[in-house]
Amino acid sequence: MQIPFEPQLFGYNINVHLVLEYLAFFIAFRYYVFLRRKSNDVISSNNRLSIILGAALGALIGSRLVGFLENPMIEFSQENVIQLLNTKTIMGGLFGGLLGVEFAKKRIGETESSGDLFTFPIILGIFIGRVGCFLSGINEFTYGKQTTTFLGMDLGDGLLRHPTSLYELLFLVVLFISLKHVQKTEKLKNGDLFKWFMILYFSFRFFIEFLKPNVFYVFGLSIIQILCIICLLYYRNTIVKAKFS
């Protein structure tokens, strides 16, 4: 199979990444509905709906904002503006969604932690989306730097690069299995599962960014890495408690 993978249907090229992105949203939401039916959710349906809407709005704003900040020096032309409107990143979506949820909960007076039910659907959704990123090769800015190691792959430009999307897919499988095991064997407080997903995923993304050809840095770090640090500071109490418990 050649990468970028661009199958044709009735003479038209299919955007595999876009198809898998929409599929990720659909399957992740159906998985969430399935998990909620099996659980004893302490949050009412109305409040859950408000929380989901808050998460969606926060994710929309966060994904676009961080996507823009990854390359804020871009020249503002009509073509580039359209590109900016389509630029998004899962990292901004996750953290923006988190802030959106917290805002929605304060507005409706909900005090219960709400993230655990979202944890595994989010991981599944990211996994499906990352398959699309990998198949898109250099058409999506998720590829890695050039490498001379045996891990190098030609992602569409004739150069051997780190297949960072594949690294992330492997990490997501390990993360999913590990959190499932922890959920079954440990007595976690409500909300801890989601917190540790965020801590572990953002930690992973901080280090994997060193393998990507970023073009804009602040204090030697990419915008994604700075966001990762902000997220880890947000959960600093959870990290400290785990370290000294």
Q: What is the pLDDT of residues 105-153, one digit of tens each?
A: 988 888 777 788 899 999 999 999 999 999 988 887 788 999 999 999 9
Confidence of residue 167 (pLDDT cuts 50, 70, 90): very high
Q: Quick check: 89 and 70 in contact, CB under 8 A?
A: yes
pLDDT for position 86: 56
69-83, 133-147, 150-164: least confidently modelled range: 69-83
Beta-ladder partners of 222? 217
Q: Which two tokens stand for residue 149?
A: 């190691």
What does the radius of gyration of the chain's CA atoms come to, in whole angstroms?
19
Global confidence as pTM: 0.90
Residue 19 zone, left/alpha/beta (φ > 0; ψ -120 to 50; rest): alpha
244: pLDDT strictly greater than 70: no
Q: Write phi, then psi, for 8 (nearest 5 degrees).
A: -115, 145
Buried b (16+ CB within 10 A) or exposed e, 116-146: bbbbbbbbbbbbbbbbbbbbbbbbbbbbbee
> Do the beta carbons of residue 53 and residue 104 sit within 8 Å?
yes
Q: What gap in Å lies between CA 213 and CA 77, rounded to an integer?
A: 24
Map residue 1 onto helix, strand or coil. coil
